[in-house]
Chain A
Amino acid sequence: MKELTDLALDTARLRGATYADIRIVRRLTQQVEVRNGAVSHLAETETRGFGVRVVADGAWGFAASSTLTREEVERVAAEAVRIARASATALREPVDLGPPEVHVDTYRTPFQIDPFAVPVEEKIGLLLAADEAMRRVPGVQVARGAVVAWRENKTFASTEGSYIEQEIVETGGGIVAYAVDEQDMQQRSYPNSFARDQRTGGWEIVLAMDLPGNAERIAQEAVALLTADPCPAMVTTLILGPTQLALQVHESCGHPTELDRVFGSEAAYAGTSFLTPDKLGVFRYGSPIVNLTADATIPGGLGTFGYDDEGMPAQRVPLVREGIFVGYLSSRETAVRLARLRGLDPTQARSGGAMRASGWDRIPLVRMTNINLEPGEWTFEDLIADTDEGIYMEMNRSWSIDDKRLNFQFGTEIAYEIRRGKMVRLLKNALYTGMTPQFWGSCDAICNADYWRVWGTPNCGKGQPIQIAHTGHGAAPARFRNVQVGSKA
């Protein structure tokens, strides 16, 4: 491997690059899906290749190929330099990465049970058992289940002297039941929306889910939702369950703190951000109990790694401290740019380690790692008991937010009316809407660490060409006051 990385870096240097890095990546994924008693998809996918990123004439160039030969490495490295030179024709300031970063290291995701070593028959059996339990419930039209195993081996090398080898292992799974009658369709998922939860680690993650043991319950809930009342439209107290809150954190805190968005790099696609640099350190993002961090070091998160894709070590970065906006997700280049903008010494600027690429064929972008709402002090039982009137919502069904990440609307799979400290009535088609700072400003209770865990979002889209990132979000149930809720269906 070192022979190929040296060749790429030497070729780029000889062609005039002032900086170059190469990532060689091999990824193996195994997906097993069942649907209504049959295996609907069983596939193993291998993809391998390399991407070379260079700075030449002060501008970026990137080229990638799936052919891992010496000739192709030379061609692609040269092409990256050629592309950088073309980029330099529309350039204002040369790229500045700040002080060199040199790391020689290895990192491997810890796990108990290798998900690729578990027999496929066992995986099918687990899913079919859950599938059968869901379809035993009258009214269930479709039952689905899936498990995923993912292993990525990647080597990073740079002209600054870094050489990092990593093995990231992810495992995920989930089930969903669809109930249908003549007028309506309702769904319930477990343990997370969109058919799976996923984390870094081994098969023990799926075993802990107990998919068969939860199948009948969610199927019954899906059927019950068909005849439930729709969520009434009103301004009220809202308690969000942990998976819905994880997505709320993702959309309304994770994305707007991406520093490349703030600087306009994503303006044409995903948009920009309301969290402009003048707000850093002074803007009240949420109530004083709201603490949000980007933490790539916690065990099990989908954003947990040893080094990001430009060779920065995994870090824990505060984003919101006691309700005040205090930090961004950053790269080496954007960290320097932010320091200059704020009149700070750019040679002291350091990336928060959030540059991630979705594969060998994509350039790294500023992405979420694990964006966590830190736990509070409440038990869930006390939180419900303390709420005189309101709505509890859980498990995302739809999500939408504006291109500065202010106005949002989320729909959920299931909701309950809360009266006098008890969940008293099942509600369907529940949605809530609001503006990000007002919403987080209304947060008056967060459950404690016993109710907190990290959830996986394996479908975060960003960039052109599109990149699908795997991000993590720690959350515990939390309460928000004066929120507009309702239903529209």
Chain B
Amino acid sequence: MLGEKAIREIVGRVLARSQVDETEVLFFGLEERLTRFANNIIHQNVAETDAGVVVRAAVGRRTGVGVTNDLSDAGLERALEMAIRAARLQPEDPNYPGLPDPVPVEPVAAFDERTAAYTPDDRARDVAQVCRRAEEAGVNASGAFRTAVHEFAVANSHGVFVYHPTTIADLTTVVMTDDSAGYAAGSSWKVAEVDVVALGEEAIGKALRGRNPRPLEPGVYPVVLEPYAVGDIVDFIAGMAGGMAVAEGRSWMTGREEGEPVATPAVSIWDDGRDPAGWPLPFDFEGMPRQRVDVIREGRVGSPVYDRRWAAITGKTPTGHALPAANPFSPWMTASAGPLPFHPMMGAGEYTVEEMIAATDYGLYVTRFHYTRVVHPRRAVVTGMTRDGVFLIERGEITVPVRNLRFTQSYVEALANVEMVGRRVHCERPDFTVVRAPALKISAFHFTGATEF
């Protein structure tokens, strides 16, 4: 970990050398350690240290980008030269909004010393407990336990400098028998809040309950979805709320007016990068403060999220959702993809999962979704599989496990059929984003195929 002072010095070296009209320097640093287990043993155990800069140079309305993880003077000079050379080769970009001036950004704590100092031995000890309990139960545990430190900074030639250090701890585990599987996962920026043993027990219990699954005909069923499955819906619904996708006609929000009913009133989905209960990152990759944006507010269409470019194109107000000009950590999440929410969340309701099951006469209890892909973005139709625990609910009780099913379902229509919202919100970090979701009871969900297990 380099720390704010060293990073300020590195980005300052680039800014001091640049002679073009405007220059932006993003700093990405990570120390990431991950212990992976399968068949009740640790089979992969890795550590990575990386730090780099993304330099965006503007010559008038022409911009270019240079990226390097060589932080020597020569390396930084090369990145700057790459950016300037690229900028000079470009035609004018009439929609380039220029770089922003400084705006106050209130820091949000998201760094935990204990998580940063977690060692391979610490992770091995925790993972070994899951493996041992799985061995005792006669099942097969696999998963990954990660602890990491990330550092982000944004600086530009107009005087912007913001810095945010953060830690991550997350565990995912899949426990299998010959004919069943169970899943559990948890994520926090404090390792102490990831209860590895409890998550292991949850997955073991689910796998044991899922033995001898029965085949079930595809069809339309009421469902109780665990937060893991709902997280996929929330991630997708919020992920299509980028101002560019909406403006270009590629989103479920396209053509819908703000305030128009779209879901049951119990459904609210928003993005809040400053919420300390998630994985806060208080500024976007132009250095602008992140604002809370309601994507669905009490069942009605809310607002898209914007960076400065798409706010200017569409005549809206920026909301602090700019992606980086290039992204060394997640190369597919860059500014050319438009603004995106990083911290989507569905608000909690008032029901326990047990109450949802009790309120279901005949339906399915689903742990999570697998390999979900968009079939039609405008209609929010998604296909995917169930995975790691599907059970039949009969007369208010879980009765038998069933084999996995394929669904092809409009997520927007699913939200219009929500009957009950869970009171507990679960946090997971599927990729560069963090998603928080409760359990849901939905009156109709379209299952369109079945598999053999």
Decide whether A and B assemble into one complex. yes
Residues of A within 8 A of B (CB): 33, 35, 38-49, 59-67, 76, 79-80, 82-84, 86-87, 89-92, 120-121, 124, 128, 141-142, 178, 180, 182-185, 263-269, 271-272, 274, 361-363, 397-404, 406-407, 409, 411, 429, 431, 433, 435, 459, 464-466, 468, 488-489
Which residues of chain A are near B64, meaning CB under 8 Å? Answer: 42-43
* B128 and A402 contacting across the interface, CB-CB below 8 Å: no
The answer for the CA separation of A128 and B406 in the assembled complex, in Å, is 41
Which residues of chain A are near B52, meaning CB under 8 Å? Answer: 47, 66
The answer for the CA separation of A58 and B123 in the assembled complex, in Å, is 18
Say yes or no: A489-B376 contact (C-beta < 8 A), given A82-B120, A268-B172, A465-B146: yes
Q: Can you identify 14 A-B contacts, CB atoms within 8 angstroms?
A: A45-B68, A47-B67, A63-B46, A66-B50, A86-B119, A120-B85, A185-B254, A264-B39, A265-B142, A271-B387, A406-B453, A407-B451, A433-B406, A466-B431
Say yes or no: A407-B65 contact (C-beta < 8 A), given A124-B91, A361-B50, A399-B373: no
Which residues of chain A are near B82, meaning CB under 8 Å? Answer: 43-44, 46
* B449 and A265 contacting across the interface, CB-CB below 8 Å: no
B94 to chain A: closest residue by CB? A38
Q: Which of A42, A404, A407 has the most CB of B within 10 A?
A: A42
B92 to chain A: closest residue by CB? A38
Q: Which of B36, B119, B143 has the most CB of A within 10 A?
A: B36
A63 to chain B: closest residue by CB? B47
Instruction: Let me know if B78 is at the binding interface, CB within 8 A.
Output: yes
Which residues of chain A are near B131, meaning CB under 8 Å? Answer: 90
* B121 and A86 contacting across the interface, CB-CB below 8 Å: yes
Contacting B45 at CB < 8 Å: which of A38, A87, A399, A465?
Answer: A87
Contacting B86 at CB < 8 Å: which of A42, A90, A182, A407?
Answer: A42
Interface residues contributed by chain B, number (CB under 8 Å): 97
- Please give the distance in Å from B241's CB to the nearest CB on chain A: 16
- Please give the distance in Å from A176's CB to the nearest CB on chain B: 12
* A33 and B336 contacting across the interface, CB-CB below 8 Å: yes
A397 to chain B: closest residue by CB? B375
Residues of B within 8 A of A (CB): 32, 34-52, 63-70, 75, 78-79, 82, 85-87, 89-91, 93-95, 119-121, 123-125, 127-128, 131, 140, 142-144, 146, 172-174, 176, 248-250, 254-255, 325-326, 328, 331-332, 334-336, 370-379, 381, 383-385, 387, 404, 406, 408, 431, 448-453
* A402 and B378 contacting across the interface, CB-CB below 8 Å: no
* A43 and B451 contacting across the interface, CB-CB below 8 Å: no
Contacting A402 at CB < 8 Å: which of B40, B249, B375, B406?
Answer: B406
* A263 and B39 contacting across the interface, CB-CB below 8 Å: yes
* B451 and A435 contacting across the interface, CB-CB below 8 Å: yes
The answer for the CA separation of A464 and B142 in the assembled complex, in Å, is 12
Say yes or no: A43-B66 contact (C-beta < 8 A), given A185-B249, A409-B449: yes
* B67 and A46 contacting across the interface, CB-CB below 8 Å: yes
The answer for the CA separation of A120 and B84 in the assembled complex, in Å, is 13
